[in-house]
Amino acid sequence: MTKRKPLIFFLLLVCSIQAQENTWIIDTSKSFITYSGKHTLHEWEGSNQKLYGRALLNNTSLVFNRLAILAYVRDFDSENSGRDAHSLEVLEALRFPEIKFYSESFELLKDSLSIKGVFEFHGKKLNKQIMSSVIFGKNEILLNGTLNLIPSDFGISLPAFMLVKMKDLLEIRYSIFLTKESDS
Amino acid sequence: MIRFLIFFILLLTLSSTFSQEEDMFSSLRSEAEIDTSLLPDRMIFTQRLLWGEKGLMRKMRISTLTVEQRESELKIRRKMLKIHQIIGYATLAGMLAQGFIGSQLYNGNYKLYETHKLVGNLTSISYFTGAGLSLFSPPPLVNKKTKGLNSIKAHKYLASIHFSAMVTTNFLANKNKKIHRIAAYTAFGSFATAIIVFKF
């Protein structure tokens, strides 16, 4: 029995940690992510207003424990059907339909949140650190920020127009609105 | 026993972290509205004829409607549209040359008649090859309806103008010089504009 004590203690510890977590859900109607791309001849922007995500926070101290965000490549809209169709071909949307971000490492600074996590895009995973502004409300949290992605880091071959390739940079802007999941 | 316990705890922690991540994404997927359609709702009639759900390619079992096959079709589409783009520049160069040669002919320099005919034929071959590559390419994955005018819409509207103008130019080459000339200039103007307005 004495040999089992540490194991029982560990399992109880894990259960108690999990019990202290609250789930927060991304409010799809208020959240969005936009990307902007550049080419020598023009610039463009597309947005995705169908973000799905969950965050697990410590229920007493509002400390982030986990964050998972899921978006679909097909849900990006640049208001140009030709460009969107071309993007899906370049991003091989049938093979890699999802864009995911997952983090378990957070550091709350003065008025921002440093998030270290794994970005999965075009089937490739890359570690990424994001600095996000954070506003805590009673039952809502707003995360805002920008980040840069290098498409070639994710094995994406850059599209070309007039034989000139687009700039190897995607500027991402996001606004993520989390609401506390009701206990019922 | 302690070693075993440490190993067990580590293993449990790792697997729990991984499964928690997967659990979170699985529940997100179950909430998401996922579009898994392989064909767009709207496509050009030439594309529907070949690549539609009941198109020739499907009926003849040359290309069945599966995810893998659609992946290959989209690669073929990309190649066809890239060649369409390059051929477009060559056609524009041919049209420019024709404009110069044609104006010389109208000014009475008949020595250039054979050259005009040759360049005209080459430009027409190049034009209709480029058009065919676009019209018969496999359809895109999506074809969203968008509000207002944008580059791709302008490119398509102009295509219907220069296509009709090119057919008229060729049809009236030896029948009505005046209309042939007007049609040729219309083709050139709308074709050049279609290239300028187009953005990827």
Q: What is the pLDDT along chain B (200 residues), one digit of tens a residue?
A: 666 656 655 555 555 556 888 899 999 999 898 889 999 999 999 999 999 999 999 999 999 999 999 999 999 999 999 999 999 999 999 999 998 998 888 888 888 899 999 999 999 999 999 999 999 999 999 988 888 888 888 999 999 999 999 999 999 988 888 999 999 999 999 999 999 887 65
| DSSP letter assigned to residue A177 | E
| DSSP letter assigned to residue A73 | G
List Cα–Cα distances, B139 to A7, B8, B9, B41, B80, in angstroms: 59, 53, 53, 10, 11
- The Cα–Cα gap between B19 and B21 comes to 5
**Residue A183 burial by Cβ neighbours in a 10 Å radius (0-12, 13-18, 19+):** exposed
- Chain B CB contacts of A95 below 8 Å: 71
**What pLDDT score does B177 carry?**
86
- Record the tokens describing residue B26, joined without a space: 């699985």
**Please, which residues have CB within 8 angstroms of residue B38's CB and are 6 or more apart in sequence?**
A94, B65, B66, B67, B70, B141
Name the minimum distance, in Å, from the CA of A109 to any CA of chain B.
25
Domain boundaries defined on chain B: 86-197
User: In sequence order, which ranges of chain B are alpha helices (DSSP H)?
Assistant: 2-31, 45-51, 56-59, 67-106, 113-135, 151-171, 177-197
- Chain B CB contacts of A80 below 8 Å: 146, 150-152, 199
pLDDT 10s digits, B66-122: 999 999 999 999 999 999 999 999 999 999 999 899 888 888 888 889 999 999 999
Mean pLDDT (chain A, rounded): 89
Pairing of strands A170-180, A98-108: unpaired
In three-state secondary structure terms, A152 is helix
The reported pTM is 0.82
> Nearest-CA neighbor of A120 among A69, A180, A174, A53?
A69
**What pLDDT score does B3 carry?**
64
Whether chain B has a CB inside 8 Å of the CB on A180: the answer is: no
Whether chain B has a CB inside 8 Å of the CB on A88: the answer is: yes
Is the CB of A82 less than 8 angstroms away from the CB of B200?
A: yes
- Record the tokens describing residue B17, joined without a space: 């972290």
pLDDT band at A116 (very low <50, low <70, confident <90, very high): very high
* Continuous segment of H or E residues that includes residue B156: helix B151-171
> Nearest-CA neighbor of B179 among B195, B171, A85?
B171
Task: Please state the ipTM of this predicted complex.
Answer: 0.81
Whether chain A has a CB inside 8 Å of the CB on B20: the answer is: yes
The answer for B 118-137 residues in CB contact with A (under 8 A) is none
Contact B162, B130 (CB under 8 A): no
Which residue type is seen at B139? P
- The Cα–Cα gap between A128 and A102 comes to 10
What is the distance, to the nearest Å, from the Cα of residue B166 to the centroid of all Cα atoms in its chain? Answer: 19
Residue A13 clears pLDDT 80, i.e. is over it: no
What structural domains and CATH numbers belong to chain A? 21-180 (2.40.128.110)
List Cα–Cα distances, A5 to A12, B9, B11, in angstroms: 10, 13, 18
